[in-house]
Amino acid sequence: MKKSVVFLWAFMMACSALFAESIPMTSPSGKVNLSFNLQNGKPTYTLSYKGKSVMEESSLGFSIKDMADFGLSYTLTNIEKKSVDEPWTPVWGETKTIQNKYNQLIVTLTDNAKTPHIIKINFKIYDDGVGFRYEFPEQENLMHFIINDELTSFNLTGDHKIWWIPGDFDTNEYAYYTSKITEVEKKTQKRDGNIFTATPIAGSFVQTPLMIKSAEGIYMNIHEAALINYPCMDLKFDVNTFNATTTLAPDAVGNKAYMRAPAQTPWRTIVVSDDAREIIASKMILNLNEPSKIADATYIKPMKYVGIWLEMHLGVSTWDYAGSQSASDAGGEAKKATKVKHGATTENTKKYIDFAAENGFSGVLVEGWNTGWEDWFGKWKEDVFDFVTPYPDFDVKGLNQYARSKNITIITHHETSGSVTNYERWMDTAYRQMNAYGSTALKSGYVGRIIPRGEYHDGQWMVNHYLRAIKKASDYNIMVVAHEPVRPTGLHRTYPNFMAAEAARGQEFNFWSEGNPPEHETILPFTRIMGGPMDYTPGIFKIKKSYYIPGAKEQVHTTLTKQLALYVTLYSPVQMVTDLPENYKAKLDAFQFIKDVAVDWDDTKILLAEPGDYLATARKAKGTNNWFIGAISDENARTMTIDFSFLDKGKKYDITIYKDAQDASWDNNPEAYKIEKMTVTSKTKLTVNVARGGGFAISAFPKK
């Protein structure tokens, strides 16, 4: 039920120049204070948290192509203020309901050009941060225009510690850096050669979501919300002032954004708290997105899924029919391996469907089922896949039927290889075929340089494509998981068939590169996942690749039980059960956690958190009283204490703890674990030893 309490004390003021130089606005509790300022016709804002300045005078506005007089000097022509409290219920999510409570300030600015232009800046001030966006109302002197640059800046108060990846218009698949702001440029000089399509920006550039911690212990996260019909934002630091300015991904001819009034930009978001846990728990980015536009969401179902996927990443089977395309080809390891063959055969797919059915998983991803993989990698070729023609050894119709008979959906894979023009031509046909066969979910992929040639993954054209695909899929009642799209900005509130995205360095890097350092998964929730769920693909039991390919050095940089914990700490309504069925069958006791763990939740508590160090999260499974806890560490061993006070008072719970064995560590003995059972209440505090690169998982069921 949606309860909406809107107090409106809006007052309109048609007034003249410099009515107010400074308009303060506080959050509902008063913790967060924003001030909008207009000095000498230039708009700026400042921000403070609990009385401490966190953003100094930061610029606002635009430079517009071929309009030199645009926004040179503004006059404040209107002010609106209101308070809003509109809790809502997500289709799926981390909590049953979401509070959406803020104070709003909308300023209207009119410039002094010969034919004046009007912009509005819409600020929403929450107790966990601030979002603001620009609006271009319908007006006489501004209709079609091209944005040269957005002038928004985030003027930080010092050389803070930041968790970041380098600015890049094509990829988010970097490992995270932790450094001072002034160290960004030096650190980005060494690039990751395993990222195939990268367009790094030279200089002190970082991507968002950017995680920040000040010397005073104030945490901040800068990102954007509701990225629609606009390019994605990177940030450029001035290392003398610590001021970060907006850089928009350009298009093929160097323009940033094509606008037509009435129009608006995405929200610029600053989440702030002196408690790291509150950054992860923030729902501000979701709140800044529009309510769901999907009227009948009954086809949208969170799920765990298995798939023909890891085989190719390990290099033990291939995407293509002829048996040459696997992810490990680059290192030549697939060729060294003895039994390399096509993965997506009818027989192999049946095996996965059966395994899913036996264990209660509702999806089976199949990659390499369709023709085109011979040509897919690195060719920048337009017509590669048709997304409907199976290889001769894959019975697409029969397998979909077989899956449906067991209440399972095949997750149809649409790798575009970056040829988006081609995918756009095929989307309707492909989705219609999925409807005809009963496949209700698709995984898309955007590996490679984009076609239309010259466009970037993060430009306005591609931002529009990703959303077009999500909307079209929703017309066909299809759920979407996207790999290599632009980073998410909370659009899954509006389009809840957009289940998850990759858009960061996923588990796959552990199989064919130096991989993801043990701290990686403690950073993701503070960065990439601030914008939306990630399809990380957890659950690896065979940690070292040498098990399959003698001599291989690659490995997952965690222990086995940390892989279990990731199902809870890395939020997503779709979670892959990633390892090969035989590896789970060999460890049924640990596999039990993956079978039990939920993917949709009524409640979430972030128990312990520090970016780059550790994280512990407890979640209550939807419609039940069962709790699941995940706790992870970085490269350090540590003890972590779980305070069970979130459990119902006076009730007893049977818990199972899946933890690192005493001599376990990610590098030396990663698969050693121990399982213990005990009874706890809301008064229990449980201290668990965590290995280097380790973690633990707990399931808690009310005692019968």
Binding at 445: pick from Ca ion, ligand NOJ, none (beta carbon under 5-8 Å per type) = ligand NOJ
Instruction: Closer to ligand NOJ by CB, 197 or 699: give it.
Output: 197
Pick one of 198, 228, 447, 608: the residue that binds ligand NOJ (CB under 6 A).
447
Residue type at position 353: I
The nearer residue to ligand NOJ, 437 or 512, going by C-beta atoms, is 512
Query: Which residue ranges make up the site for Ca ion (CB under 5 A)?
Result: 483, 502
**Residue positions counted in the chain:** 704
Judged by beta carbon, residue 228 or residue 447, the one nearer ligand NOJ is 447
The item of ligand NOJ, Ca ion, none sharing an interface with residue 488, based on CB under 5 to 8 Å by kind, is none
Q: Are 541 and 640 in contact (CB under 8 A)?
A: no
Determine the interface stretch with ligand NOJ among 161-169, 392-400, 500-508, 640-648 (rule: CB under 6 A).
500-508
Catalytic option among 150, 333, 367, 508: 508
The Cα 440–Cα 64 span in angstroms is 43
- Are 163 and 223 in contact by the 8 Å Cβ rule? The answer is no
Among 414, 483, 619, 659, binds ligand NOJ (CB under 6 A): 483
Is 554 catalytic? The answer is no
Beta-bridge mates of residue 415 = 445
Question: What DSSP line would sit under 600-624, residue for residue?
Answer: SEEEEEEEEEETTTEEEEEEEETTS
Residues 149 and 112: beta-carbon distance below 8 Å: no
CA distance 321 to 319: 7
Nearer to ligand NOJ, 166 or 445 (CB): 445
Q: Is 352 a residue that touches ligand NOJ (CB under 6 A)?
A: no
Residue 186 CA: distances (Å) to CA of 128, 173, 517: 32, 19, 20
* Helices 460-475 & 420-437 angle (0-180, nearest 10): 10
Mark 68-97 with x for binding to ligand NOJ (rule: CB under 6 A) and - for no binding. ------------------------------
Tell how far CA 206 is from the center of its chain. Answer: 16
Rounded Cα distance between 523 and 516, Å, is: 11
The pairing of beta strand 5-8 with beta strand 363-366: unpaired
CB of 502 to ligand NOJ, least distance (A): 5
Could you say which of 170, 455, 508, 579 contacts ligand NOJ (CB under 6 A)?
Answer: 508
Does residue 320 bind ligand NOJ (CB under 6 A)? no
Interaction between residue 309 and ligand NOJ (CB under 6 A): yes
Judged by beta carbon, residue 69 or residue 386, the one nearer ligand NOJ is: 386
H or E element in which residue 429 lies? helix 420-437
Q: Are strands 129-136 and 144-150 parallel, antiparallel or unpaired?
A: unpaired
Shortest reach from residue 217's CB to ligand NOJ, in Å: 36
Centroid of chain to Cα 267: 16
Question: In the complex with ligand NOJ, which residue's Cβ is closer, 127 or 367?
Answer: 367
Counting residues that bind ligand NOJ (by CB under 6 A) gives: 9
For residue 445, the minimal CB distance to Ca ion (Å) is 7
Alpha-carbon distance of 507 to 521, in angstroms, equals: 10
Within 10 angstroms of residue 436's Cβ, the number of other Cβ atoms is 10
Question: Is the bond preceding 262 in cis, omega lying within 30 degrees of 0?
Answer: yes
Binds ligand NOJ (CB under 6 A): choice among 127, 367, 554, 600:
367
* Closest-CA residue to 90 (of 487, 498, 409): 498
Shortest Cβ 522–ligand NOJ spacing (Å)? 21
Find the shortest distance in angstroms from Cβ 197 to Ca ion: 10
670 binds, among Ca ion, ligand NOJ, none (CB under 5 to 8 A by kind): none
Binding site partner of 367, from ligand NOJ, Ca ion, none, Cβ cut-off 5-8 A by kind: ligand NOJ
According to DSSP, the residues that pair with 39 across neighbouring strands are: 42
**Cβ atoms of 62 and 153 closer than 8 Å:** no
150 touches, from Ca ion, ligand NOJ, none (C-beta below 5 to 8 Å by class): none
In terms of Cα–Cα distance, which of 653, 656, 679 is closest to 594? 656
Task: Tell me which of 56, 150, 234, 415 binds ligand NOJ, using CB under 6 A.
Answer: 415
Minimum Å distance from CB 563 to ligand NOJ?
Answer: 17
Question: Could you tell which of Ca ion, ligand NOJ, none binds residue 127, using a CB distance below 5 to 8 A set by kind?
Answer: none
* Of the residues 502, 600, 613, 671, which one makes contact with ligand NOJ according to CB under 6 A: 502
* Least distance to Ca ion, CB of residue 506, Å: 6
* 236 neighbors 203 (Cβ within 8 angstroms): yes
Judged by CB under 6 A, the chain residues 234 through 253 that form the site for ligand NOJ are none
By annotation, the residues acting in catalysis are 508
Applying CB under 6 A, which residues contact ligand NOJ?
309, 367, 415, 445, 447, 483, 502, 506, 508
